[in-house]
Amino acid sequence: MTSQANLATPTLRAVIGRIIPADQDPGALDLGADNYVIARLLENEPLSQSIQHGLVQLDTAAHRRFGSAFNQLPPSEQDKLITLDQHTKWFAALAELTAEGFYADPANGGNRDALSWRMIGYEHRLPDGPNGPMPKADYER
């Protein structure tokens, strides 16, 4: 079974940081998307193994091409390597999980302080009751 310590690698965090990098606004790492991703991977062993394998391959490519670990490369070199993997299943899954962690309800472990929602102007409004808004009374129609 995969442990959180095995998943929380510098390479994983570096890739997540490149999927949604900080610019004038915070990036994925700033909003805790890495914690969200790790929690989801702990729940799905096959996906976890696939992503871990992809990260090992990515780190190996970084050492071969640039002589350094992926997380120690400048962003431009990281992006060159990521571009080579952008159509692989492991990277697509990691990108999707990163986006979920960036935009999901903060109660799910990412999107710290609902900051991504404020960045895009989203106002979180849950419907009344488990099946949506309560029906209007006849006199309100």
pLDDT digits (tens, 9 = 90+) for 18-43: 999 999 999 999 999 999 999 999 99
Cα–Cα dist 46/89, whole Å? 12
pLDDT for 140 beyond 90: no
Q: Is 134 buried (19+), middle (13-18) or exposed (0-12) by CB count in 10 A?
A: exposed
Helix 89-103 to helix 33-43 angle (10° resolution) is 120
pLDDT tens for 39-62 read: 999 999 999 999 999 999 999 999
Question: What is the distance between the alpha carbons of residues 100 and 28, in angstroms, rounded to a whole number?
Answer: 10
Task: Write down the pTM of the prediction.
Answer: 0.83
Report the chain's mean pLDDT, rounded to a whole number. 89
CA 38 to chain centroid, in Å, comes to 9
If you average pLDDT over residues 8-19, what whole number do you get? 96
Task: Compute the distance between CA of residue 75 and CA of residue 20 in angstroms, rounded to an integer.
Answer: 12
What are the angstrom distances between the C-alpha of 58 and each of 12, 62, 101? Answer: 10, 6, 22
| pLDDT higher than threshold 50 for residue 120 | yes
Three-point CA angle 114, 101, 112, nearest 5°: 30
Q: What is the pLDDT of residue 141?
A: 45
Q: What is the mean pLDDT of residues 96-122?
A: 90
